[in-house]
Amino acid sequence: MGNCVGASAKVDATLSSNTTSASEATRTSGKKSYSPLSIPAYSPRSSSVNLATPRSEAEILSSPHVKPFSFNELKNATRNFRPDSLLGEGGFGYVFKGWIDENTLTATKPGSGMVIAVKKLKPEGYQGHKEWLTEVNYLGQLHHPNLVKLIGYCSEGDYRLLVYEFMPKGSLENHLFRRGLQPLPWAMRIKVAIGAARGLSFLHDAEEQVIYRDFKASNILLDSEFNAKLSDFGLAKAGPTGDRTHVSTQVMGTQGYAAPEYVATGRLSSRSDVYSFGVVLLELLSGRRAVDKTKVGVEQNLVDWAKPYLGDKRKLFRIMDTKMEGQYPQKAAYAAASIALQCLSTEARLRPRMSEVLAILEQVQSPRGATRSAPLEHRVSADTAVMSPRKDHRSPLRVTTSASSLPSLRKSPLVR
């Protein structure tokens, strides 16, 4: 592969959960037998995870919470990675649909057992072994209802694969921007925002903080009930410790989502994630992409275009998604726009904490936030909205149009 990290290599940090095991399954890979696979159940105390000292690759891959699959097992699970099993592709590589037995985690015939999503690394892909290992490191230890579940991995020869729970509704990006899908109603948008906020709050409030660093619509996956889960932890970073306010690192991320101070200086903090959340919240409100080169002038950058309207109740309707046809509560929409504006502050210290953002959004979701819908004269035909496809790829920032390992996809990353 050329970019493999040696067995003694260290990654940023490893997270260990203090919760007890909730489920067990037999781990098998080839001829070797493994102890039962235990996935800790989430409890509110799970937010007090401890970041251990950096671990070696061997220590990371020996986690009891993920199964080491053989390449042949995943070939069988995905029907030899057949084209009709392909769910999509991104910077990481290809994503395939597969089936495994729920108890033994061994391959089963299509249509039986548990559905999984298998990401297969492209040897020439923008993401390499280090990011693959980082994802195993974090998702192998962190467990929360709003983080996608990592079931296992494969590291065999030059092959690098990751095995996830299957997310039937795919990515938020597809539901907001892909033609042909039913527009998300207001209540669903707020539900998704709250789920994503819970995931980020969990990471930020851990005893040893985790900075996600790649928060965007394409990395928010949706289950059958439209519960949001964060995916793709290849860029995750351990937060600052002691009296430090930030960590300095190579700038990686996605144009339009990355916080301005991080892009300018490489100084990363949890408030960088808060800025990115503000961008996604703005996408949920407006139905527009963070960056859209098909538009002209200031409208190419969503934040630059929308910011002047966010604090004005009378003008807010001008940036609201026309596909909702005015069917949203004005008071709740203004509250959501106001918190988005705070998240998008150019000064990191002025942005709220994710726990504060979550609390406000939960108030917005309550019946008290649901007043009347937008006036009829503020409803614009959805036909006027311009939706355009976009191709993404990841590289150091060097800001890219996408840093995701899953989308942007020919098809949804984890969609039927």
98/186 same-domain check? no
pTM here is 0.79
274/186 same-domain check? yes
The helix or strand, by DSSP H or E, that contains position 285, with its residue range, turns out to be: helix 270-286
Across 214-239, b (16+ Cβ under 10 Å) vs e yields bbbbbbbbbbeebbbbbbbbbbbbbb
188/92 same-domain check? no
Q: CA-to-CA distance for 150 and 48, rounded, in angstroms?
A: 20
Say what the pLDDT of residue 129 is. Answer: 86
Domain count, the chain: 2
Q: Does 216 belong to an annotated binding site?
A: no
Q: Is residue 397 part of a domain?
A: no
160/221 same-domain check? no
Say what the pLDDT of residue 92 is. Answer: 75
Q: Is residue 248 part of a domain?
A: yes
Contact 249, 332 (CB under 8 A): no
Q: CA-to-CA distance for 240 and 233, rounded, in angstroms?
A: 18
120/186 same-domain check? no
30/154 same-domain check? yes
Q: What is the pLDDT of residues 253-294, one digit of tens each?
A: 889 999 999 999 999 999 999 999 999 999 999 999 999 999
- pLDDT tier at 385, thresholds 50, 70, 90: very low
User: Do the strands 150-156 and 67-68 form a parallel or antiparallel pair, or are they unpaired?
Assistant: parallel
Q: Is residue 43 part of a domain?
A: yes
- Angle at the Cα of 56 (from 54 to 57), degrees rounded to 5? 125
Say what the pLDDT of residue 207 is. Answer: 85
* pLDDT over 60 (residue 362): yes
Range of the domain at 40: 14-165
* pLDDT over 70 (residue 299): yes
Q: In angstroms, how far is the first alpha carbon of the chain from the final one?
A: 31
User: Which comes out higher in pLDDT, residue 200 or 391?
Assistant: 200
Q: Is residue 406 part of a domain?
A: no
- Count each helix (H run) and each strand (E run) in the chain, helices first: 10, 16
126/219 same-domain check? no
* pLDDT over 70 (residue 165): yes
Domain C-terminal end among 121, 143, 165: 165
- Angle at the Cα of 40 (from 235 to 205), degrees rounded to 5? 50
Cα-based distances in Å from 150 to 12, 161, 162, 306, 372: 19, 11, 7, 36, 42
Cα dihedral 152→156→161→164 (10° resolution) = -10
Contact 373, 326 (CB under 8 A): yes
276/371 same-domain check? yes
* pLDDT over 70 (residue 26): no
303/376 same-domain check? yes
Q: Is residue 391 part of a domain?
A: no
Domain C-terminal end among 165, 184, 215: 165
Lookup: tokens for 319: 């940036």
* pLDDT over 50 (residue 249): yes
242: left (phi over 0), alpha (psi -120 to 50) or beta: left
Q: Is residue 48 part of a domain?
A: yes
282/374 same-domain check? yes
| Residue among 136, 124, 70 nearest 94 (CA) | 124
160/176 same-domain check? no
- pLDDT tier at 373, thresholds 50, 70, 90: low
Q: Is residue 389 part of a domain?
A: no
User: Which comes out higher in pLDDT, residue 376 or 340?
Assistant: 340
Catalytic residues: 214
Contact 240, 317 (CB under 8 A): no
Domain C-terminal end among 115, 149, 165: 165
CATH of the domain at 190: 1.10.510.10
109/202 same-domain check? no
SS3 376: helix
Cα dihedral 157→10→45→188 (10° resolution) = -60
CATH of the domain at 87: 3.30.200.20
Q: Is residue 275 part of a domain?
A: yes
What's the mean pLDDT when you consider all of the chain?
Answer: 80
